[in-house]
């Protein structure tokens, strides 16, 4: 799958680099097959990616989708069975990990328990033969960057999970690699800590300007942090784009389902012109962006927050679908409704309504409602 | 047998534990300490408690009271059963001789191959004997050696009533009566005997071996086996210098020790063996070794090896495995009856056929010869081999070169074993 | 080695707010429960360790003989005698034990490493294979080595036939044979603790080291080896103590110059009936071993050992 969108524009602007500059990391048709119990299992099935300098890039997908394997091939812990890995344009396929200019932050942190925080962070510099004074200075900077000043002599086992995470980060960053690979680095932290560490990571990445490749199964995290996201499934990249692109215009049914909540409506195309089609669903006719042949059965998707409960007359040209509320969950700023659309195909539609009006206007279970949304906010999913 | 009373160590019937405790209670030093430096109550209690604990576990003297024959046997009668502890492979699997005994007397025998080693068996039964408890056996077989000396010195054996032993008186060979280790067979009679001599493997030794001096020959460096047992090793070292082991003293032992050390330091001795020298001798790890006649006969008969065995010209020793009755036996009358029954020549011959050691009954030789004449085929051949073997029936000339075991007194024993163990356990 | 214990947390009974009503006696009972549960173990220790040790200690200070009995006379000379008479066997035992332990480490560490890191799904099978010989009696295993090392046996025979070894060479009944036998018999005691530590280790730390520019060797030396030291420490102790005290190997595979101190204790006890001497040698051996272990722990850095272990 060719990269349809260039490296994140935000990142490019920030680092002042041209879009046609050499990508920090390039994967060309990379694949990986394992032999497991006499069977060949394909973990990665031909991935093409270009990750720009200074970009915050996420590999997002469920477990087993090949995202970790892809990252480990970049780090050098796995050798691809096909394709080429390039770092700053140079082919590193077959080069062992200790000769690659990338560093990794492990999910388990993999700190060295027998060394102090200082020695952990200094490990890579010392291996590279950096002079002792220089090591002291750079470790000091790194410790400051991750806000662990004063804990240099402590053993990592005496630190909290969040602090260990920072040590792991500093240990990798201090080497100033051309790219930092993070393998679900926040998975072991609790929610509160995870959220503050997300901000922290973003800050650090902005400060050091190093390319981050971030592996996660948490779509929220990916959307929050990334300049660009590659959504992976079954060893393939399903969609590549900015968080907005991936969220707003999911290219596949998988992406639509995996990132956020999506309503799927299926029906028969009754009209198609100028990038807008009309689809007859069980509950009534709706319109959506896209193109399809007349008479074809298609699925269209619309995000819950794009739908509103129509109080009076609907906007001209808007879609409208009647139904019955079967669940209303009050969440403070929003209320989540589940509505059974009229018709016999049993379609249920989820919508998120801002609680701008008073409680008197809120719909209750069993109420008859009309759902409405703008046609350009729903899309035909490719078959 | 009042005339045969031996000087035995004075028995200490009082348990020592009690004495020790009372001593520590009234220890004058402790009393003085109490009145002078006034240590804290706690320290004193602690110290005396520790002293009590430590002294409470003293090992008391283990000797039993000496018994005269008349006292022991008075009022004892056959109970129709007995239990017999013997060495493995010392009677055929059918226990033929015991069956015959039961047929003849109606006494049931519980036979147990419980004796694998003198010292471990003695170690196991000693506490019971010291307490005057039955060891579970009425008759046991142990070898001539230090354990026997200890058993007799501690008065753990029942004095034998020779009135109850007509077969022994009639058939036991002169050599097996009145042995130096048990004059007049007061406590023991032999079950089977053997010679400690020299075995060698002619596959590796191509000259004639005649005596103990060959065990000191540097030509066989690293290929000579000696026995680990203090008494066995010392006997050979003494005989090498022409000293009769029976009359030897400390001066002789010192010389023997230096002989053995000289042999060891020259690298001649490969190892001091407990009893497993026969396999190395067969496969060439050893070329020449001190050996027991029965082992050599059995190895040749069963494995088809052609090991040679000689009685050294300097002399060898005649050892015996002896039947004896512990003084705590529950069925001593039945035990002495079985003891005597095994001295019937026909029975003794039957045992010899199986175990291939020297029977204490010379007439067994004749029995086996007659049986060989009557037999045919393989059995005839085997019986003839047995009857003709000087290892099972030594010649008179061999006998003249054989010495009895040294009957060491209890007092000498400790020094003796210490001296010789220092050689074999360097 | 020690379990992976979490840091001590306050007992739940205390952490919880005091329940209404009379919960005090129940609380106390609950606090006593662990001690009660441990009581059988303490009793066991007291009965089968403390009591025998005390009685052996007292016997080692007695004098007398088998016939008169042995009386506690605080005869400290027994210890001087024991050392003066048997220092050779004692030193030899420590030397053989030390050599066997080093050999076990040299052979056992790679085995443990291989099983832990490369064993994959067959780890348990490999461990079972390693332990399989242990299902055969210790003495039998050792005796089978006699046939293996015989002068004309399967190993030496062919070597002599092709002229690689002189005809007179032998291994059986020499010190190397004893050390080899010891190392063979106690190998699992080294492999298992080392394996346990390596297995429990987060294997990602090796990748982390490689990721930080350490080659395979460097990663092993800087990370794996120091992290496995607690296992090595345990393995060394578990091998050194029994090999130093063992005498079966020396008896079966040794020769006229290889008696180890265990044999001396046995024969002083069983042959000579010199109980005080036997007990005194036992305590000397024990003291020497304990001193050795403590100085070893010192040298290795107990702090560090404990720290890594606590992880």
Angle at B385 between CA B382 and CA B389, to 5 degrees: 145
| Cβ-Cβ contacts under 8 Å for A360 (sequence gap 6 or more) | none
Phi-psi region of A19 (alpha: psi -120 to 50; beta: other; left: phi over 0): alpha
Note whether C205 contacts A: Cβ–Cβ < 8 A: yes
Interface pTM, i.e. ipTM: 0.80
Mutate which of C69, C84, C168, C170 to test chain B, going by most B C-beta atoms within 10 A?
Answer: C69
Collect all residues of chain A within an 8 Å Cβ-Cβ radius of residue C226: 114
At residue A383, the pLDDT reads: 66
Residue A56 near residue A11 (C-beta atoms within 8 A): yes
Residue C212 and residue A123: Cβ atoms within 8 Å?
A: yes
Q: Report chain C's mean pLDDT, rounded to a whole number.
A: 85
Domain chopping of chain B, boundaries: 15-56, 78-193+319-387, 194-309+403-424
Residues comprising chain C, all counted: 311
Whole-number Å distance between alpha carbons of B28 and C26: 52
Kindly list the partner chains of chain C, i.e. chains with 3 or more CB atom pairs below 8 Å. Answer: A, B
* CA distance linking residue A308 with residue A354, whole number of Å: 9
Contact between C211 and A103 using a beta-carbon 8 Å cutoff: yes
Max CA distance (Å), chain B: 94
Chain C meets chain B (3+ C-beta pairs below 8 A): yes
Q: Is the per-residue pLDDT at B412 higher than 90?
A: no
Mean pLDDT of B137-165: 91
Query: C59 and B426 in contact by Cβ < 8 A?
Result: no
- Domain range annotation of chain C: 83-310
Radius of gyration of chain B measured on its C-alpha atoms: 25
pLDDT tier, C84 (very low <50, low <70, confident <90, very high otherwise): very high
Chain A contact partners (≥3 CB pairs within 8 A)? C
Give exposure, B262-271, as e/b (b: 16+ Cβ within 10 Å): ebbeeebbbb
Structural tokens at position C263:
């044999």
Residue of B nearest to C153 (CA): B283
- Helix B250-265 vs helix B410-424: crossing angle, to nearest 10: 10
- What is the greatest pairwise CA distance in chain C? 91
Nearest to A110 among C205, C222, C310 (CB): C205
Q: How many CA atoms lie within 13 A of B132 on its CB side?
A: 7
Q: Which phi and psi angles does C256 have, rounded to 5°? A: -75, -10
Tell me how far apart the alpha carbons of residues A280 and C168 are, in angstroms, rounded to a whole number: 102
Indicate the class that CATH gives domain C83-310.
mainly alpha
At residue C93, φ and ψ (nearest 5 deg) are -60, -45
| CA A28/CA A47 separation, integer angstroms | 7
C148's CB contacts (< 8 A; 6+ apart) are C154, C155
Q: Do C151 and B285 touch (CB under 8 A)?
A: yes
CB–CB contact B54 C72 (8 Å): yes
Confidence of residue B45 (pLDDT cuts 50, 70, 90): very low
Judged by DSSP in three states, B329 sits in coil
Give CA–CA dist A10/A258, Å, rounded.
Answer: 25
- Interface contact B285, partner C, CB < 8 A: yes
B20 → closest Cβ in C72, C146, C152:
C72
Q: Give yes or no for B374 touching C (CB within 8 A).
A: no
Contact A299, A311 (CB under 8 A): no
| Distance (Å) from the alpha carbon of A123 to chain C's nearest alpha carbon | 7
Task: Confirm whether pTM is higher than 0.90.
Answer: no
Confidence grade of residue B49 (pLDDT, cut at 50, 70, 90) = low
Predicted confidence at residue B172, as pLDDT, reads 95
Give the number of other CB atoms < 10 A from CB of residue B89.
12
Q: Do chains C and A touch (3 or more CB pairs under 8 A)?
A: yes
Query: What are the structure tokens assigned to B43, written together?
Result: 């320290």
Distance in angstroms (rounded) separating the CA atoms of residues A92 and A24: 12
Same fold, B78-193+319-387 and B194-309+403-424: yes
Please name the CATH architecture into which domain B78-193+319-387 falls. 3-Layer(aba) Sandwich (3.40)
Chosen for mutation from C52, C65, C66 (greatest number of chain B CBs closer than 10 Å) is C66
Task: Give the Cα separation of C111 and C120 in Å (integer).
Answer: 14
Q: Chain C residue closest to B413 (CA)?
A: C272
* pLDDT at site B205: 94
**Count of all residues that appear for chain B in the document:** 426
Whole-number Cα distances in Å, A284 to A287, A310, A321, C251: 10, 16, 6, 97
CA separation for the pair A94, A78 (Å, rounded): 9
**Beta-carbon contacts of residue A215 (< 8 Å; ≥ 6 apart):** A58, A59, A67, A68, A71, A181, A182, A183, A184
**Which whole number is the average pLDDT over C63-85?**
87
- pLDDT band, residue B23 (cuts 50/70/90): very low
C153 pLDDT tier (thresholds 50, 70, 90): confident
Q: Which domains does chain A have, with CATH numbers?
A: 9-101+177-258 (3.40.50.300), 263-309+320-380 (2.40.50.100)
Percent of chain B's residues with pLDDT above 90? 58
Supply the angle between the helices B345-355 and B377-388 in degrees, to the nearest 10: 100
CA distance C146 to B406: 34
B194-309+403-424 maps to which CATH number? 3.40.190.10
> So what's the pLDDT on residue B313?
93
pLDDT of residue C5 exceeding 50: no
Instruction: Give the whole-angstrom CA distance, residue A283 versus residue B121.
Output: 99
Taking an 8 Å cut-off on Cβ atoms, the answer to whether A171 and C222 are in contact is no
What are the chain A neighbours of C227 within 8 Å (beta carbons)?
Answer: 112-114
Cβ B58–C259 below 8 Å, yes or no?
A: no
Q: Tell me: the pLDDT tens digits for C18-72? A: 444 444 555 566 678 888 888 999 999 888 899 889 989 999 999 887 777 788 8
Rounded CA separation A277/B373 (Å): 122
> Span C116-127, mean pLDDT?
91
Instruction: Give mean pLDDT, residues C149-165.
Output: 86
- Spans of chain A, pLDDT less than 50: 1-19
Residues of C in contact with B156 (CB under 8 A): none
What's the pLDDT tens digit per position in B55-83? 555 666 667 788 788 889 998 999 999 99
Does residue B213 contact residue B263 with C-beta atoms inside 8 Å? no
Interface of C with B in 188-227 (CB under 8 A): none
Average per-residue pLDDT for chain B: 84
Residue B27 pLDDT: 38
3-state SS assignment for residue A357:
coil
């Amino acid at each position: 799958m060719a990269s349809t969108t260039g490296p994140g524009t935000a990142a490019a602007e920030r680092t002042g680099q041209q879009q046609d500059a050499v990508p920090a990391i390039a994967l060309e048709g990379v694949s990986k097959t394992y032999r497991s119990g006499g069977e060949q299992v394909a973990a990665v099935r031909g991935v093409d990616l270009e990750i720009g300098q200074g970009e915050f890039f996420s590999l997002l997908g469920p477990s087993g989708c090949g995202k970790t394997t892809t990252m480990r091939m970049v780090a050098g812990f796995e050798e691809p069975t096909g394709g080429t890995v390039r770092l700053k344009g140079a082919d590193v396929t077959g080069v062992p990990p200790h000769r690659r200019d990338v560093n990794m932050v492990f999910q388990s942190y993999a700190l060295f328990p027998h060394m102090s925080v200082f020695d952990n962070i200094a490990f890579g510099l010392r291996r590279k033969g950096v002079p002792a004074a220089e090591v002291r200075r750079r470790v000091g900077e790194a410790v400051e960057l991750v806000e662990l000043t004063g804990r240099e002599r402590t053993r990592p086992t005496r630190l909290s999970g969040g602090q260990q995470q920072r040590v792991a980060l500093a240990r990798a960053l201090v080497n100033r690699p051309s790219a930092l690979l993070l393998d679900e680095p926040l998975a072991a932290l609790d929610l509160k800590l995870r959220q503050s560490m997300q901000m922290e990571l973003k800050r650090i990445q902005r400060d050091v300007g190093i390319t981050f490749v971030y592996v996660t199964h948490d779509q929220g995290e990916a959307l929050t942090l990334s300049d660009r996201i590659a959504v992976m499934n079954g060893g393939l990249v399903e969609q590549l784009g900015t968080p907005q692109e991936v969220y707003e215009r999911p290219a596949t049914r998988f992406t639509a389902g995996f990132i956020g909540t999506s309503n799927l409506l299926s029906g028969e195309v009754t009209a198609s012109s100028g990038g807008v089609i009309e689809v007859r669903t069980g509950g009534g006719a709706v319109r959506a962006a896209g193109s399809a042949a007349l008479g074809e059965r298609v699925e269209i998707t619309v995000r819950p927050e794009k739908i509103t409960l129509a109080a009076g007359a609907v906007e001209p040209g808007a879609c409208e679908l009647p139904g019955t509320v079967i669940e209303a969950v009050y969440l403070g700023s929003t209320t989540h409704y589940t509505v059974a659309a009229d018709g016999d195909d049993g379609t249920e539609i989820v919508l998120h309504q801002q609680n701008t009006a008073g409680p008197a206007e809120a719909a209750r279970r069993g109420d008859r409602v009309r759902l409405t949304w703008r046609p350009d906010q729903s899309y035909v999913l490719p078959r | 047998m009042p005339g045969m009373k031996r000087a035995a160590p004075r028995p200490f019937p009082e348990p020592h534990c009690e004495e020790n405790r009372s001593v520590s209670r009234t220890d004058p030093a402790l009393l003085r300490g109490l009145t002078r430096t006034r240590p804290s109550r706690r320290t004193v209690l602690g110290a005396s408690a520790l002293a009590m604990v430590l002294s409470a576990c003293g090992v008391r003297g283990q000797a039993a009271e000496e018994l005269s024959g008349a006292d022991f046997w008075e009022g004892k009668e056959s109970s129709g059963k007995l239990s017999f502890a013997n060495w493995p492979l010392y009677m055929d699997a059918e226990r033929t001789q015991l069956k015959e005994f039961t047929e003849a007397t109606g006494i049931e025998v519980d036979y147990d191959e419980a004796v694998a080693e003198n010292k471990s068996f003695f170690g196991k039964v000693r506490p019971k004997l010291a307490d005057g408890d039955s060891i579970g056996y009425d008759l046991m077989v142990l070898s001539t050696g230090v354990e026997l000396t200890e058993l007799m010195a501690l008065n753990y054996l029942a004095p034998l009533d020779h009135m109850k032993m007509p077969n022994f008186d009639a058939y036991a060979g002169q050599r097996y009566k009145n042995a130096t280790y048990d004059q007049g067979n007061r406590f023991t009679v032999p079950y089977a005997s053997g010679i400690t001599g020299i075995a060698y493997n002619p596959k590796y030794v191509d000259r004639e071996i005649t005596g103990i001096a060959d065990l000191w020959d540097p030509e066989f460096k690293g290929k000579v086996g000696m026995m680990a047992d203090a008494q066995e090793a010392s006997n050979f070292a003494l005989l090498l210098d022409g000293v009769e082991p029976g009359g030897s003293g400390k001066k002789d032992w010192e010389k023997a020790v230096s002989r053995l050390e000289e042999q060891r330091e020259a690298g001649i001795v490969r190892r001091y063996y407990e009893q497993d020298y026969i396999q190395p001798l067969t496969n060439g790890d050893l070329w020449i070794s001190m050996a027991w006649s029965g082992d050599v006969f059995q190895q040749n008969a069963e494995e088809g090896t052609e090991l040679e065995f000689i009685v050294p010209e300097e002399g060898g020793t005649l050892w015996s495995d002896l039947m004896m009755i512990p003084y705590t036996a529950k069925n001593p009358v039945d035990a002495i009856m079985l003891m005597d029954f095994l001295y019937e020549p026909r029975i003794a011959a039957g045992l010899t056929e199986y175990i291939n050691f020297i029977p204490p009954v010379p007439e067994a030789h004749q029995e086996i010869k007659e049986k060989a004449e009557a037999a045919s085929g393989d059995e005839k051949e085997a019986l003839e081999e047995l009857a003709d073997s000087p290892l099972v029936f030594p010649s008179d000339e061999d006998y003249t070169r054989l010495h009895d075991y040294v009957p060491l007194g209890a007092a000498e024993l400790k020094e003796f074993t210490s001296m010789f163990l220092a050689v074999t356990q360097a | 080695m020690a379990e992976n214990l979490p840091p001590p947390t306050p007992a739940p009974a205390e952490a919880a707010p005091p329940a209404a009503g009379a919960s005090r006696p129940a609380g106390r009972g609950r606090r006593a429960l662990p001690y009660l549960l441990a009581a059988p173990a303490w009793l066991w220790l007291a009965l089968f360790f403390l009591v025998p040790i005390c009685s052996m200690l007292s016997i080692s200070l007695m004098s007398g003989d088998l016939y008169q009995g042995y009386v506690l006379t605080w005869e400290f000379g027994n210890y001087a005698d024991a050392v003066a008479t048997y220092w050779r066997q004692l030193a030899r035992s420590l030397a053989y034990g030390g050599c066997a332990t080093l050999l076990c480490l040299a052979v056992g560490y790679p085995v443990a490493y291989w099983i832990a890191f490369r064993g994959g799904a067959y780890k348990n099978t490999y461990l079972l294979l390693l332990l399989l010989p242990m299902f055969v009696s210790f003495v039998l295993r050792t005796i089978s080595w006699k046939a293996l090392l015989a002068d004309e046996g399967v190993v030496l025979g062919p070597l002599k036939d092709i002229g690689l070894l002189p005809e007179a060479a032998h291994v059986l009944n020499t010190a190397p044979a004893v050390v080899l036998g010891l190392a063979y018999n106690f190998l699992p005691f080294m492999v298992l603790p080392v394996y346990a530590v390596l297995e429990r280790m987060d294997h990602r730390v090796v990748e982390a080291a490689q990721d930080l520019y350490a080659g395979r060797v460097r990663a092993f030396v800087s990370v794996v080896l120091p992290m496995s030291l607690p296992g090595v420490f345990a393995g060394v102790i578990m091998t050194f103590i029994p090999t130093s005290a063992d005498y079966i190997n020396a008896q079966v595979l040794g020769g006229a110059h290889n008696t180890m101190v265990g044999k001396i204790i046995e024969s002083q006890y069983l042959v000579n009936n010199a109980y005080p001497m036997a007990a005194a040698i036992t305590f000397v051996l024990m003291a020497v071993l304990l001193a050795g272990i403590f100085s070893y722990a010192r040298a290795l850095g107990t702090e560090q050992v404990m720290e890594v272990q606590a992880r």
